[in-house]
Amino acid sequence: MTRLIVAAGGGGDAVAAAMLHAALYGDEDQAVILTYAWDRLLIDPLPGPRRPADFTGLKRLTPDVWSVPAQARPIAPAGSTLPRLAAELPVTFALLDPHQGAVGLTRQLESLVDHVQPASIDLLDVGGDILAQGDEPTLKSPLADALTLAACCQLNEPVRLLVAGPGLDGELPPEAMTSALGPVVHTLTAEDAASISTVLDWHPSEATGLLAATARGVRGTCEIRDAGLPVRLTDESPAVHEVDLDDALSRNRLARAITSTTDLDEAEAYSREVCGYSEIDYERNKALWLNEQQPTNLDPSAIGTQLEQFVAEARTRGATHTTFRRITEALGLSGAQRDELRQSLIASRPKQYEAPLWRITDEVSGPS
């Protein structure tokens, strides 16, 4: 029996989809996870999502859909986490290509459904920004989710929309979506999080990292992103809610606007019109800024002083935890140095590592 899970935003949603499959369906059913190849700039220096032509080694599943096996490789300078995910997780990853707009995504979905004849189709979003109206001040990345929502709503098959970890992506506060959240399908546990624990050692997703941490029992307030956005980790955070698909579409103005789009540029234009911006524009601007930055060395003695200052300030803001991405950017290091910093911190203060987060306490000092 095959289960199809569509990762609404790509990236971390694909990792969370693998965790959810293990939690809901176990080892007996096969999983196909349909996802964008759309990673953070520290993984892929090219803005926006990748298309099949950006890879070697893909396998054609249907005339419209390719799978990404472990041996696939992005063509430089592009980057992608999907081949490594395929190597480490017991699921099949299939590539969503939004360059033909929502119409093209619908065609890909129909083609894949006809091919695998899944027993169920779930659309998964971590955090709940798929429920955004489009004008929320904290909303940062509406386009990817709006495209998958628009496509799934046009599929002539039943699709169950699931929102995991309401508010954990820092884009919508949990109270803003309470009225839309349906029953709890499952509350993730430490055992569920164990299925993706090795992936979260290297994968940069903050929202899915927070979801796994709360499944393990971590509670408090975590600072994320370069801006240090505070996200509350509560007993409600590991919950996976079912949401009415039509209700989600009625809330999401961007998804309704892009339903008939046939290319990504057209969808982007609607995003600028409805939301005032496009997340790909943000990536373009940040990529230009990153290209102008001079590389810095990770000096343990200097980092120790900076880290103590960061931790002291974070405590005054009420933070109990932070992500390694947040620490990396707060210390002025590049995304490429995130893993080196992470390993150094864990080695010097292992008790403060609450996987995959860093716990902020009075005893924090720099790497030795």
Per-residue pLDDT of 86-117, as tens digits, reads: 999 999 999 999 999 999 999 999 999 999 99
Share of the chain above pLDDT 90, in %: 83
CA–CA separation, 196 vs 208, rounded Å? 10
Q: What is d(CA 124, CA 162) in angstroms, rounded to the nearest whole number?
A: 5
Nearest CA to 272 out of 287, 282, 262 is that of 282
pLDDT at 368 exceeding the cut of 70: no
> In the predicted model, is pLDDT for residue 364 greater than 60?
no
Tell me: pLDDT of 316 over 80.
Answer: yes
More confident residue, 174 or 335: 174
Confirm if 333 and 341 have CB atoms less than 8 A apart: yes
pLDDT at 299: 78
pTM: 0.95
pLDDT digits (tens, 9 = 90+) for 216-244: 999 999 999 888 999 999 999 999 999 99
pLDDT at 362: 53
pLDDT exceeds 90 at position 188: yes
Give the model confidence (pLDDT) of 112-149 as tens digits.
Answer: 999 999 999 999 999 999 999 999 999 999 999 999 99
Return d(Cα 325, Cα 327) in angstroms, integer.
6
Per-residue pLDDT at 367 exceeds 60:
no
Classify 169 as helix, strand or coil: coil
181 C-beta neighbours (distance < 10 Å), count: 18
Per-residue pLDDT at 27? 81
Q: Of all residues in the chain, what percent carry a pLDDT higher than 70?
A: 98
Per-residue pLDDT at 297 exceeds 80: no
Q: Are 167 and 232 in contact (CB under 8 A)?
A: yes
The set of residues, in sequence order, having a beta carbon less than 8 Å from that of 223 and lying 6+ positions away, is: 229, 230, 231, 314, 317, 319, 321, 322, 323, 326
pLDDT digits (tens, 9 = 90+) for 161-170: 999 999 999 9
Average pLDDT of the residues of the chain: 94
* DSSP 8-state assignment for residue 364: -
23-54: per-residue pLDDT in tens? 999 988 999 999 999 998 889 999 999 999 99
d(C-alpha 254, C-alpha 256), whole Å: 5
- Mean pLDDT on 322-349: 89
State pLDDT tens for residues 68-86: 999 999 999 999 999 999 9
Indicate the residue type of 231. Answer: V
Q: What are phi and psi of 245, to 5 degrees?
A: -65, -45
pLDDT 10s digits, 193-203: 999 999 999 99
Amino acid identity, position 255: A
Rounded to whole angstroms, the Cα distance separating 358 from 315 reads: 13
* Residue range 241-251: mean pLDDT, rounded: 98
Q: Which residue has the higher pLDDT, 7 or 338?
A: 7
Residue 365 has pLDDT above 70, yes or no: no
Give the mean pLDDT of 318-345: 90
Q: Is 216 helix (H, G, I), strand (E, B) or coil?
A: coil
Sheet holding 229-233, edge to edge: 229-233, 220-224, 321-322, 357-359, 353-354
Distances (CA, A) of 94 to 40, 82, 143, 306, 368: 19, 9, 20, 42, 43
Do 340 and 347 meet the contact criterion of CB atoms below 8 Å apart?
Answer: no
